Amino acid sequence: KISTETQIARLLGATPLQIELTLVRITDHVSRNTSADHMAAFYRPWSDVSTEQFDGFIITGAPVEHLPYEDVRYWPELRAILDWTQTHVHRCFTICWAAQAALFHFHGVPKRDLPCKAFGVFPHRNFAPTSPYLRGFSDAFDVPVSRWTEACPSALADAKGLQVLAGSVEAGACLVDDSAHRTRHMFNHLEYDTDTRSEERR
């Protein structure tokens, strides 16, 4: 969590906007990889912020890709958070597993296991160069990828109201616009630092 929050905060801090960052955690979930002191000092449980309004809300991934969504202990609360974003958040951005989970929740798009982990930096194509979300991107750009699953491509293609904004021949869909839910879904990791992948397990 600490490296991820630093990466995202750095990107947000590079914009001309003045941003007040609130770190939020699942209410009753105890993190196994981050100290309790850090969580207590910097994070607020979602139950404490559920009556507040946010301009933007980022939901990051979790190392639970191999589990069915219903077997994730905090799945009911995550579903409640996703529904809450529709009334309390102006725009939402989901990353990696959270993007797959949101597409399953809102559109019934299942995830599927990959034959091996998609791990590396892959060339991607900009499918929507006129989109405000890809303004300034070139026609081709490289994106770090690190995941064991993907949103089922056929179900993603059949779902109504979704537009794949960027993708890769090798790694599949990368960024999906869900305009009806005011949400962008990012399956990969533009926020990664140069050495992030080298610190992960393949």
Catalytic site residues? 96, 189, 191
Nearest to 21 by CA among 9, 11, 7, 10: 9
DSSP 112: E
Q: Which amino acid is at 43?
A: Y
The DSSP bridge partners found for residue 120 are: 145
Dist. CA 164–CA 174, nearest whole Å: 8
CA 47 distance to own-chain centroid:
21
Task: Give DSSP secondary structure letters for 20-88.
Answer: ---EEE-SSPPPSSS-HHHHHHHEEEHHHHTTS-EEEEEE---S-TTS-GGGSTTHHHHHHHHHHHHHH
Q: Coil, helix or strand for 106?
A: helix
Q: Are 120 and 162 in contact (CB under 8 A)?
A: no
**Alpha carbons 173 and 168: distance in angstroms, whole number:** 6
